[in-house]
Structure 1
Amino acid sequence: MRKILITGATGNIGREVIHSLSELNMDAQIVAAVRNVERAEIEFSEYPNLSFQQFDFEDSKSFESAFEQIDTLFLLRPPHISQVEKYFQPLLLSAKENGIEEIVFLSVQGVEKSSIIPHNKIEALIRRNGFKYIFVRPGYFMQNLTTTLLSEIRESRTITLPSGHAKFNWIDVRNIGEATALLIKSFTKYQNAGYDITGTENKDFYQVTHLISKVIGTEIHFNSVDPINFYFKKRNEGVPKGFALVMAMLHFLPRFQKEPEISDNFEKLTGKCPTRLVDFIEREKKNMTLP
């Protein structure tokens, strides 16, 4: 039986990939790679057939046992890890030594145009190490509004980023999970290529805060700042420097790039239309409503 290891299993993306894989009724064993197995068993109690394996990106001693007898590795980059060579090269070498041949990596849309972001370097490492691969390249997560950006929305009715009028393509993480599961299921059909997974809307943060304001009934403003001020703002909030730097780059560099291309890959894979941003905000309205 095919064994599929899901890294980042307790995060937004990993959880959705596990959910979508479980709904496909594949002849495969799905293994969640987690730091705390006991806690994960409670969190995923609704998935009785899910297996668990202790795994930590920052502890190379956990790699060998996690990778044993794995056929397909779903790999993502934890937000706080920016030192690609330090953490991902040993991981990939261990995967290779343990016989893993297939990697599905969660990258980012436009990665091929920006050599300085970590995702670009990880894609290069995967190719260099000779894996069969699929690069999933989604647009901008709608769930950033209910995770990374939520505290500022609720506390000060603002979103502060160095993005100016740059437009981002907005995609629901649920849609990413659905598409990724189907790519994993039919790995051989789709291997050795990258796939943009996008929504149907490109909007800048001025437009998005206007839409949020309309839906939740409270005025939300967008504050565009230069990347240096943004970096130090995040550092003062306690954000690790690597994560703060990546956040600055991912929101600042699009100001100098073309508007994201809208792909129909999600519809081709699933036969469905992706979530609209207004529908996501309506769905998450209770989480976004100010206290």
Structure 2
Amino acid sequence: MKNILITGATGNVGFEVIRFLTKINSSNHIIAGVRSLSKAKNVFKEFSNIAFTHFDFEDVNTFDDALNGIDSVFLLRPPHISDIETYFKPLILKIKEKHVNQIVFLSVQGVEKSKVIPHYKIEQLILDHGLDYSFLRPSYFMQNLTTTLINDIKTKREIILPAGEAKFNWIDVQNIAEVAAIILDKFDVFKNQAIELTGLENKNFANVTNLINNIIAEPISYKNVNPIKFYRIKKREGMVSGMIIVMVLLHFLPRFQKEPKISDFYERLTGKKPTDLKTFITRERALFEPK
């Protein structure tokens, strides 16, 4: 039996990882690392076999207790945290000090070619400290449409990005979480590997906008802007600078890169096809409607 700490437990990915771990029905003990215990207990009220611990990426004082007795950590980067030296280095040092030797880190596809993005720096921290790892490198989340981009969709009926005509590979967070749960459960099989995880479709934002418009009642449009204008728009809206810069890097750099490679890892591991965009948009249709 392993004690598995899930960081970002109440977020989209963390919640789904816990859901799939409970479906595996293994003997592992799942601990949700959360900032608010009361909120988390409400989020997971239908899950009876989960423990909770206070964990906050921005509070180093929570690391020690949260990592006591932990064997494996599912680690992700909260979108608003871009200062890796300040927030992740102390965490990796504490993980090493606590002899936690299994890290499944949610990275990003193509990280090895983009040394300026935070995920690369986190991978390097893990490697530099000699920890056993599995780097899960998924492509572009379908759920970005229903989280990071949803306010513009609902209020402006636009997707506003500096992405041009760049093609992104689209993957459902549920597919990512299912793979992460399997890797956490059978870590030794995937130890010290970097695993690319993709869906089956490479599409640009104009393509995706058309797909959405074929399903919803009130259409949206895609507005391509240059990075400086994007920065100014988001700064006026109150988004923190670090998150804006990461969004620029993730959406602008692909304009100068080759079309994403498609991996069959999900299908080989699960025996199923990954979710396609039409299925995802239909499933989340209500979220795309205006306020």
If the TM-score is normalised by the length of the shorter chain, which range does it land in?
A: over 0.9
For normalisation by structure 2, the TM-score amounts to 0.99
The aligned amino acid for 1:159 is I
RMSD of the alignment, in Å?
A: 0.8
Partner residue, 1:60: 60
Q: Deviations over 1:71-122 (max 9, x none)?
A: 0011000111101111111001111111101100000011011000000010
The answer on whether the counterparts of 2:28 and 2:185 sit within 8 Å (CA) in structure 1 is no
Report the Cα distance in structure 2 between the residues aligned to 1:266 and 1:67, rounded to whole angstroms: 30
The answer on whether the counterparts of 1:5 and 1:73 sit within 8 Å (CA) in structure 2 is yes
The answer on whether the counterparts of 2:154 and 2:289 sit within 8 Å (CA) in structure 1 is yes
The answer on whether the counterparts of 1:69 and 1:99 sit within 8 Å (CA) in structure 2 is no
Q: Deviations over 1:131-157 (max 9, x none)?
A: 000001111111111111111111121
More divergent stretch after superposition (156-165 vs 214-223): 214-223
Report the Cα distance in structure 2 between the residues aligned to 1:67 and 1:154, rounded to whole angstroms: 39
Kindly indicate whether residue 274 of structure 2 is the aligned counterpart of residue 249 of structure 1.
no
Where structure 1 has 5 or more consecutive residues not aligned to the other structure, the ranges are none
Kindly state the Cα deviation for residue 45 of structure 1 after the two structures are TM-superposed. Answer: 0.9
Q: How do 1:72-111 residues align onto structure 2 when only pairs under 5 Å count? A: 72-111=72-111
Q: Deviations over 1:31-71 (max 9, x none)?
A: 00000112211210111010000011011110000000100
Where structure 2 has 5 or more consecutive residues not aligned to the other structure, the ranges are none
Q: Deviations over 1:253-291 (max 9, x none)?
A: 000100000000111111110001011101111111124
The aligned amino acid for 2:169 is N
Runs of 4+ in 1 over 3 A off after TM superposition: none
Partner residue, 1:135: 135
Q: Number of aligned pairs?
A: 291
Kindly state the Cα deviation for residue 29 of structure 1 after the two structures are TM-superposed. Answer: 0.2
Report the Cα distance in structure 2 between the residues aligned to 1:122 and 1:92, rounded to whole angstroms: 9
Report the Cα distance in structure 1 between the residues aligned to 2:157 and 2:92, rounded to whole angstroms: 42
Partner residue, 2:200: 200
Report the Cα distance in structure 2 between the residues aligned to 1:183 and 1:257, rounded to whole angstroms: 29
SS state at 1:48 partner: coil
Kindly state the Cα deviation for residue 217 of structure 1 after the two structures are TM-superposed. Answer: 3.0
SS state at 2:215 partner: helix
SS state at 1:62 partner: helix
Report the Cα distance in structure 1 between the residues aligned to 2:231 and 2:129, rounded to whole angstroms: 33
Kindly state the Cα deviation for residue 9 of structure 1 after the two structures are TM-superposed. Answer: 0.2
Q: How do 1:148-159 residues align onto structure 2 when only pairs under 5 Å count? A: 148-159=148-159
Partner residue, 1:8: 8
SS state at 2:243 partner: helix
Partner residue, 2:25: 25
Report the Cα distance in structure 2 between the residues aligned to 1:90 and 1:254, rounded to whole angstroms: 31
Report the Cα distance in structure 1 between the residues aligned to 2:228 and 2:82, rounded to whole angstroms: 18
The answer on whether the counterparts of 1:3 and 1:31 sit within 8 Å (CA) in structure 2 is yes
Report the Cα distance in structure 2 between the residues aligned to 1:41 and 1:85, rounded to whole angstroms: 31
Partner residue, 2:276: 276
Report the Cα distance in structure 1 between the residues aligned to 2:66 and 2:168, rounded to whole angstroms: 36
Identity of aligned residues (%): 53
Q: How do 1:152-231 residues align onto structure 2 when only pairs under 5 Å count? A: 152-231=152-231
Partner residue, 1:233: 233
For normalisation by structure 1, the TM-score amounts to 0.99
Report the Cα distance in structure 1 between the residues aligned to 2:278 and 2:218, rounded to whole angstroms: 15
SS state at 2:165 partner: coil
SS state at 1:26 partner: coil
Q: Deviations over 1:188-247 (max 9, x none)?
A: 011101111110000000101111111113321111111111111111111011011101
The aligned amino acid for 1:266 is Y
Kindly indicate whether residue 268 of structure 2 is the aligned counterpart of residue 286 of structure 1.
no
The answer on whether the counterparts of 1:138 and 1:198 sit within 8 Å (CA) in structure 2 is yes
Partner residue, 2:116: 116
Report the Cα distance in structure 1 between the residues aligned to 2:217 and 2:211, rounded to whole angstroms: 10
More divergent stretch after superposition (208-217 vs 49-58): 208-217
The aligned amino acid for 1:188 is D
SS state at 1:52 partner: strand
